[in-house]
Amino acid sequence: MNRISHICTLVLLSCFLIASGCDGSGDGSSSPQAAELPTPDQESNAGPPTTSPAANTPTRSISPLTINTEVVPAPELSEQDQKQIDLLNACKAGNLSAIQTLLEKGASANIGDNKFKNTPIMHATKANCIPCMELLLEYGADIHHRNSATADALMWAAMQSTAGTVQLLLNHGADARVATPSGMTALTLANDRVDDGQKALIIILLEQSLATP
pLDDT in tens, the chain (213 residues): 445 554 544 554 454 444 444 444 444 444 444 444 444 444 444 444 444 554 555 555 544 444 445 555 657 889 999 999 999 999 999 999 999 999 999 999 999 999 999 999 999 999 999 999 999 999 999 999 999 999 999 999 999 999 999 999 999 999 999 999 999 999 999 999 999 999 999 999 999 999 988
Q: Is there a contact between 187 and 206 (Cβ–Cβ < 8 Å)?
A: yes
Alpha helices in the chain (DSSP H): 2-19, 40-44, 53-56, 79-93, 96-104, 120-126, 130-138, 153-160, 163-171, 186-192, 199-211
Q: Is there a contact between 141 and 110 (Cβ–Cβ < 8 Å)?
A: yes
Q: What is the DSSP letter of 36?
A: P
pLDDT at 24: 41
- Round the CA-based radius of gyration of the chain to a whole number and report it: 52
Q: Kindly report the CA angle at 91 between 88 and 95, in degrees rounded to 5?
A: 125
Cα distance between residue 109 and residue 107, in whole Å: 7
* DSSP line for 42-67: HHHTT-PPP--HHHHS---PPPTT--
What domains lie within the chain, and their CATH numbers? 77-142 (1.25.40.20), 148-213 (1.25.40.20)
Among residues 141, 155, 165, 147, the alpha carbon closest in space to that of 190 is found at: 155
Q: Is there a contact between 197 and 167 (Cβ–Cβ < 8 Å)?
A: no
pLDDT at 76: 85
